[in-house]
Amino acid sequence: MITEKGQSIEDKSMEIIENEIGSHSYSSDEWTIVKRVIHSTADFDFARDNKIVFHKDAIRNGIEALNNACAIVVDVNGVIGGFNKDNLKKFGNKVICNISEPNVISEAKNLNKTRAQISMRMASNDMNGGIIVIGNAPTALLEVIQMIKDNVAVPSLVIGIPVGFVCASESKEELRSFNIPYITNLGRKGGSPCASAIINALYILLKGRLSS
């Protein structure tokens, strides 16, 4: 629960973001999400050079899935740390992260794959109708894309915003070329704070719809 002082700081931060960005081409719902990502990173590139990109059904699917108590599958524990826990509890969304499971580590060694790849495969049943949130590992995003192509998983939304120099840009480019609901960005930037911010913003939009 945010304090009155905390809310004051957040409100001031949002005002600064609005003033620095000025005019933009995002819809109102998209801007709610982009603004949260900027707030979590202090990086205005996410509205400019590393622009966040939305599939036409992404926001609607994400809101509906959260409201239906979907599972949220994440690539690393750092993503979970940024989630608003009150919202998870309120809407009954279970968070799954298998990256540190002992059998994931051993199988990754045996198959010469990354732990992120194996952890995504392990969560395949939880992905159906759920939201996949990848903020760190490009190999996790590429694995999820392959799983969807193979009809192993049918998620409602893929939030793919991994950070890095190896396959980060490429994995997001492949996601954008694939006709599934997604939220992603251009280029190498990304990270767990961005991924968490997108989920938190979807909750804001969901609560706004429920209260209207």
Catalytic residue list contains 39: yes
User: 85: buried, middle or exposed (CB in 10 Å: 19+, 13-18, 0-12)?
Assistant: exposed
Q: Considering the candidates 35, 36, 39, 172, report the single residue annotated as catalytic.
A: 39
Nearest alpha-carbon partner for 168 in 135, 197, 124: 135
Residues in CB range of 19: below 8 A, 6 or more apart: none
* Closest C-alpha to 76, from 202, 191, 176: 191
How far is CA 184 from each of CA 53, 84, 120, 137, 172, rounded to the nearest angstrom? 5, 20, 18, 13, 7
Catalytic residues: 39
